[in-house]
Amino acid sequence: MMNEVHAGAPRPAIVPHLWYDREAQEAAEFYCGIFPDSRIDSKATLRDTPSGDSDVVSFTLWGVPFMAISAGPLFKFNPSISFIVNFDPSRESRARELLDETWDKLAEHGTALMPLGSYPFSERFGWIRDKYGVTWQLMLTNPDGEPRPTIVPSLMFTGDNAGKAEEARELYLSVFDHSRPGTLHRYGPGREPDREGTVMFTDFMVENTWLAAMDSAHNHGFTFNEAISLLVLCETQEQIDRYWDKLAAEPEAGQCGWLKDKYGLCWQISPAGMDDMLTKGTPEQTKRVTEAFMKMKKIDIAKLEQAYRG
């Protein structure tokens, strides 16, 4: 996978969101010190949430937007969602060296899940859990095909979800705008416990954002949770309504724009301008907006804007 999107490509509208106990800003600074073209974009503190005062930070890693929140020790990261990092020698003259340097930095107090080495799908690959529990797949790539972003969220369908990656891909492609499939590779025979024909690897674009997915029928003991969610930035109330209605397994169980889909994957369906309200408003405006959205299930843009204006 090439390490840049096309020049002039639309900015992704789906942003990985990481939930930390108290380390969101510390972790964001740690990652920005590791990856090229990285920076902290904004910071804010949400007062008097159910988790107390919660720090929110928006940051960019190698040109890819992320968000994180410090909101208490409610959820733990696991490899059901990891981040593929593409090091492409056709774009980066030092791709292999940069991969090794990145591995060494992430390995500080981290744990290798797949050792750095040569594999059938890449001559240089490793899967590592960092000191915060977030997992990264570092891959040396040099494809002839269409470019992919430097960092791609990867969904692992495990447990009761094993074998459903292709079904989920088709659902997400049908729900979101600006979407299309990418590659699809299936397991062949003799790969038990993975069933022949299920997804070994696929990627697809939804809302101008590339995601990857795979099935794994091994006994992992983990599945999707709230520690990593996908934040969908919506321009209109119509988008919010449509995505909420089509994704939510139990629409009434959602809270503050959060929902779980039929696979347990967590999404946040949010107005694109909400981050500006929280980071650029006065303390009084931020307080009013926070109080307003904390009472909502599905987000109502008009009510948020009314709270912002006072």
What is the value of pTM for the model shown?
A: 0.92
Half-sphere exposure of 87 (CA within 13 A, CB side): 23
Domain ranges, residue 124 = 77-215
Q: Which of 174, 194, 215 is the last residue of a domain?
A: 215
Query: pLDDT tens, 48-65?
Result: 777 788 899 999 999 999
Query: Residue 10 above 70 pLDDT?
Result: no
Looking at the fold, whether 205 and 251 belong to one and the same domain comes out as no
Looking at the fold, whether 91 and 198 belong to one and the same domain comes out as yes
How long a stretch of residues is the chain? 310
Q: How far is CA 307 from CA 48, 249, 280, 287, 292, in A?
A: 16, 29, 14, 9, 7
Identify the band that residue 23 occupies on the pLDDT scale cut at 50, 70 and 90: very high
Strands 135-140 and 81-87: parallel
- In whole angstroms, what separates CA 112 from the centre of its chain? 20
In a domain, residue 144? The reply is yes
Q: Can you give the pLDDT at residue 12?
A: 63
Task: Indicate the number of domains in the chain.
Answer: 2
Tokens standing for residue 173: 């492609």
- d(CA 172, CA 179) in angstroms, rounded, equals 8
In a domain, residue 8? The reply is no
In a domain, residue 44? The reply is yes
Q: How far apart are the first and last CA of the chain?
A: 47
In a domain, residue 9? The reply is no
Looking at the fold, whether 256 and 266 belong to one and the same domain comes out as yes
Query: Residue 11 above 80 pLDDT?
Result: no
Looking at the fold, whether 192 and 236 belong to one and the same domain comes out as no
Looking at the fold, whether 103 and 229 belong to one and the same domain comes out as no
Looking at the fold, whether 98 and 145 belong to one and the same domain comes out as yes
Query: Residue 33 above 90 pLDDT?
Result: yes
DSSP 8-class letter at 195: P
In a domain, residue 238? The reply is yes
Look at residues 255, 309, 306 and name the one whose alpha carbon lies nearest to residue 282: 309
Looking at the fold, whether 35 and 126 belong to one and the same domain comes out as no
The helix (H) or strand (E) run that includes residue 276 is helix 274-280
Q: Can you give the pLDDT at residue 9?
A: 44
